[in-house]
């Protein structure tokens, strides 16, 4: 059996819905044992979220299944003496504690960092929240939608006529979860040297701002305020979505050589000699005129034909797919990104879940079991405590 980087790492996971469960799902894929601690009788809110009412009623909603395969579930009430005793027993043997409550909730439960450190000096404690554990907004509630708006992300999504728009998936939750998984992995590496744990205070707002990259740095460094540009890439031209005989095509000819190759392949070798299009900055200035010339030429073939022709010559180009089309790509299946796991809920049918795009020594990271029923592993941990 393959040895994974986090084999032997034990994670106690108090999180709900997405940012936290997405983080612990990444840790599980890398080999960690993740135990979800859920409120008796109700559990993770995601158990009731998804498009299938039958699954939601069974506490196995699609949103839960997507992020919790390979984990264990234990029901504990942290406000009861028995629940607290069991929780503290679990912490004594844990490497990581992960939670995404509103700031201050753990301290009010009697499990602030000082107390956690007493219980386990080697513990890595990660608290994911909308805005961090301190500051004037720390106590405010936050969901992905709220963070998308506050980060400025929505202000640059869409066109000048349609912005602000929400990004079409919960990107702030996802980025927060990924940053938490990175922070935990770094903290575990540091603990290997020092033997001491640490407290990781992660702000989804700040993680989102960090992930926005050039959109933020162009303003901080150069004072250029970002604007919504729809399907166009502000950093280069031609770089965006173009028209073909049967649908849209993304092209990112960001380098001079790529631009010249593109023009040759679409039958317009004259365009690089046009003063409006000769250099990178002038192409950005005259983006509209350049796009018009290219669209006229690109309408001669289908999007798939252009994808194959341009990619073969080193010009980044690809069709714009639906989610089902993307999941059906031969490349995705070749890499082992999708995995069928058993399912104990209604219908007892296999459930397909995603990996994370990482292949270690030729083997794709996959969940090693299904998402757990609520409290499925209660007896296992009662016996241990």
184-207 CB burial, b ≥16 within 10 A, e <16:
bbebbeebeeeeebbbbbbbbbeb
Report yes or no: 372 and 68 within 8 Å, Cβ to Cβ.
yes
How many angstroms separate the CA atoms of 212 and 47, rounded?
Answer: 31
Q: β-strands 96-99, 10-13: how paired? A: parallel
The dihedrals phi and psi of 332, each to the nearest 5 degrees, come to -65, -45
CA distance readout (Å), 32 to 43, 49, 101, 202, 368: 21, 26, 22, 20, 11
Q: Choosing from 173, 270, 330, 361, which is the catalytic residue?
A: 173
How many angstroms separate the CA atoms of 10 and 33, rounded?
Answer: 5
Residue 144 is among the residues annotated as catalytic for this protein = no
Token pair, residue 256, equals 């001079």
Which residues neighbour 229 within 8 Å (Cβ) at sequence distance 6 or greater? 156, 159, 240
How many angstroms separate the CA atoms of 39 and 14, rounded?
Answer: 9
How many angstroms separate the CA atoms of 334 and 183, rounded?
Answer: 30
Angle at 156 between CA 155 and CA 157, to 5 degrees: 95
Active-site annotation, residues: 173
């Amino acid at each position: 059996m393959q040895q994974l980087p986090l084999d032997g790492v034990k994670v106690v996971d108090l999180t709900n819905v997405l940012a936290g469960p997405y983080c612990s799902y990444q840790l599980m894929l890398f080999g960690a044992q993740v135990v979800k601690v859920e409120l008796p009788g109700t559990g993770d809110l995601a158990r009731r979220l998804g498009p299938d009412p039958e699954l939601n009623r069974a506490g196995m909603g699609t949103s839960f299944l997507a992020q919790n395969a390979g984990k264990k579930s234990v029901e504990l009430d942290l406000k009861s003496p028995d629940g607290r005793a069991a929780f503290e027993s679990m912490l004594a043997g844990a490497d990581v504690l992960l939670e995404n409550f509103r700031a201050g909730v753990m301290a009010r439960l009697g499990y602030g960092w000082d107390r956690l450190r007493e219980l386990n000096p080697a513990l890595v404690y990660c608290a994911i929240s909308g805005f961090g554990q301190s500051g004037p907004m720390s106590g405010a509630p936050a969901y992905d939608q709220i963070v998308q708006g506050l980060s400025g992300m929505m202000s640059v999504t869409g066109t000048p006529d349609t912005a602000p728009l929400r990004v079409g998936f919960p990107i702030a939750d996802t980025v927060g979860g990924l940053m938490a998984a990175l922070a935990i992995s770094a903290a575990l590496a540091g603990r290997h040297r020092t033997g001491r744990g640490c407290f990781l205070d992660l702000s989804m707002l700040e993680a989102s701002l960090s992930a926005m990259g050039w959109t933020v740095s162009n303003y901080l460094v150069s004072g250029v305020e970002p604007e919504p540009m729809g399907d166009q890439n502000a950093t280069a031209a031609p770089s965006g979505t173009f028209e073909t005989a049967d649908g849209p095509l993304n092209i990112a000819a960001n380098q001079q050589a790529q631009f010249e190759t593109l023009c040759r392949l679409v039958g317009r070798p004259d365009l690089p000699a046009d003063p409006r299009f000769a250099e990178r900055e002038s192409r950005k200035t005259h983006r509209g005129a350049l796009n018009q010339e290219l669209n006229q030429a690109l309408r001669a073939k289908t999007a798939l034909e252009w994808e194959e022709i341009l990619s073969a010559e080193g010009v980044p180009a690809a069709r714009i797919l639906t989610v089902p089309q993307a999941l059906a790509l031969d490349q995705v299946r070749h890499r082992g990104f999708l995995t069928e796991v058993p399912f104990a809920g209604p219908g007892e049918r296999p459930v397909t879940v995603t990996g994370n795009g990482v292949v270690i020594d030729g083997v794709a990271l996959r969940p090693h079991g299904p998402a757990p029923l609520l409290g499925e592993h209660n007896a296992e941990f009662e016996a241990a405590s």
